[in-house]
Structure 1
Amino acid sequence: MTMEVEIVSRDTIKPSFPTPSHLKTYNLSYFDQSIPSDYLIPILLYYPKPNTSTTTTTTTTTTTTSTCLKESLSKCLTKFYPLAGRLKDDVSVDCNDAGVDYLEAKVTNCTLLDVITNPNAHSLRQLLPLDQPYTLESPLLLVRVNQFQCGGIAIGMCVSHKVSDVSSLSAFINGWSCATRGDSEVIAPHFELATLFPWKYENDDQGLEATDEGPSKYVVVAKRFVFNALDIARLREKARNVESPTRVELVSAFIWKRFIEWDRSRSYPTSKPYSAFHVVSLKKRRAPPLTKHSFGNMSTIVGALLTAENDDNDEYCSLVGKIRGAIRGIDGEFVKKLESGDEGHLKRYEAEIMQASQVGNEPIHFTSWCRFGFYDADFGWGRPVWVATISLEFPNLVRLMDTRSGDGIEAWVNMLEEDIEGFANDPELLAFA
């Protein structure tokens, strides 16, 4: 079903209190500087019809849901003040309280149940505030509240990756929901990353250049595969020779395995190497770990390689072990070297990753959005019934997200339009997802 969505209002929401003068310049960390500015973290949270007569705050009983969301967003932005600013240069944000875009829309031809029962990654894009490409004058955060004809709500958000990673966006969303509920304590982020990692990134290919290059030469689409707790238990049994693999490691290795088999079925020679890359957050791997409300980017990429020389009969176990070893090789000592100012340490590591990428003929990329607490975002209406994302213009990219129960994984697989059907109809894949 093609959704019919109508924009009914467009506002700019500014912090409820001006940002103090000593906080007007927000310095970007090394990791922030190395990441493009585009809106690369789209998220959608779906809620049933709010029952304002039973909400826990006096504010929501005397104002509309719309007014309450705007007022609480304004309050939350005083804590997350860099999001209301604009990029000043490639190393800082001007915290000028210019505000964030806030749109309201109504979906006229379907209900919330229609969408979550038969989700389509391309159609879901209509619920996000992505009607304009990112430019250097764009807000750093875009918000869109979509009202379904049944009364259900979908809140869509996009944030500039230059200033925020997935964990930072989750902290903001949960801070906003706290403010909407009227909690006395609103989540306060910690802005220490620029102090820990202050040096300037010297890759001229990153920076602030806008990336709108016109129509893409290829079409990337996404399909969602759901692994419930039972599916993951079956994968764990298949990987019984690997010690204590996580859900993410099991599902990543399984999708990598099916990707390899799919490629082998259409390619020659079949002995070529295959590489898998995983984004790894460093915040919890620091000793001591940073708080979960530490704001900004702090991650690296790890790579695993399968070659004809190190292939074996139990290939799935081998792939689980390779991904597990790559991820767990990033430890406190790794972060300590970065924090000491050893920029060459990361440069050498990135060079190794690039080399692995060149060796692999058909690399596949993974990023995990699991355990970031998106399902904790209660605006006074209860937890989301579903948290989703959309397709991105990056082929062979897999984003892993929690199911609502917390013990499963939804894998959003982005592939070229001409490739996705062949991959998605793999019987072994469908036997587990």
Structure 2
Amino acid sequence: MNTGIINQQGLVFLNATGAPVLSRADSRQMRAHITKSNFAKRRQRISQVETKGGESNKQTTQQALHRRKRSQQKSQRAALDTNPTELPTTESPPCAPSLQLLRNFRYLVFLDIRPTVQDPVEKAWFDLITSEPVVFEASLAGGMRCWGPDKESQQNADLHLSRATNLLVDRISCEQVPSDAMIGAVMTMAFGERLADNDVAWNVHMEGLINMMQQRRHHGVSSLPPVFRSLIALDFMNHLLGFPRFYHLKVVDMLSSHGDQVLSKLAPIPADLSLLKTAVDAPETGHMGQTSHGVEEPLERVRLATRALREFNDPYVKATSRSLEIYLNLLWPLLFTIDLESVGSELKDAMSEFRIKACPYMDLTSPHYILGLLATEKDSEASAWFLDRIQGSVQVMRQRGWSDPLSVMKRGLVHEPHIHHQFTALLDDGINGLM
């Protein structure tokens, strides 16, 4: 039986378990398409420049490429000014694969069945993924890892992960400045290891990310693209609950020390929360954390930090800010008094502004949905929005054989028994099909 998601006609084939499998030949075809088309387009541009050499306004290849690079940089700066989550990639845009090819890829990795992607930010994201074979293979590895628990899906995930690793090693050995695509590949691989509950491999990938950031800084690239920084900020709540996907202390320290204002505000909060928990649990402290001598200073610092985070307009930061406020209120309602319903609605509005459509695996490892559900009134518009996202993702994962799609999130909620109890009570109150 034919296997693979991509054939010459751009069709999808399924294996016996219903999971699409990318064959070696088809994978080589896609990688060759990405690589050869880039080289072909480059040769065509150079040839065109050389042909014009005899004209009165002749120009050398080097001058043409230099002018093109300046034009790209100008366009990227303009896009960044109008949209803080735009991807300012340093790579040239790839020669676009066929529309059907991209549809198949989006379906496998993101379960995205939309015929086209209209949003320019999301399009830039897919352009980045297809710009280099390393991030393409890493994305396929993540997609196959999550597609289903069956042996064949996991073996194909291992195959693509091995290819991504080899490509990454080859790129690093060339001593080139790590590209945005390479950064994306490493973060994608780290996400896959988090889903597999492999802390050791996750740390290895994140340490690799740190080394890449140091290399880029050595060559004058001072930071990560904004969308990557936004994902790290969004992951702050995952860090608090003990299952970070992208939030690594060394990465955060490096970005904070080089002027990232959002992460500079977030970085000190966990230590202050630890002091708060110790002080609140002390025998002399009143019920649910009424103020005592050890509570006042860290409490004031956390309050100041939450107020400062509200000043940022990036939707990812807004989501983190509102989720943090809900989290603090659920833990200590007497210390952090907020209009819970209002903040829950603001969280929904912020997440609705996300420009890149998340896959179900991202949704099911995002505590923001659970916190939003706990903050909003049953049968309200905001509550229905959070519930719909969770139920939809759970249904998709169960159809592929996953018996407990919320397992990663539930492991994190165990660290906060009070929130875990409220979530369990909410499910027992009539929200079926999630546990």
Q: TM-score range by the shorter chain?
A: under 0.3
Higher relative contact order (CA 8 A, sep 6+): 1
* TM-score using structure 2 length: 0.26
Name whichever structure is richer in strand by fraction.
1
Name whichever structure is richer in helix by fraction.
2
The structure whose Rg is larger is 2
* TM-score using structure 1 length: 0.26
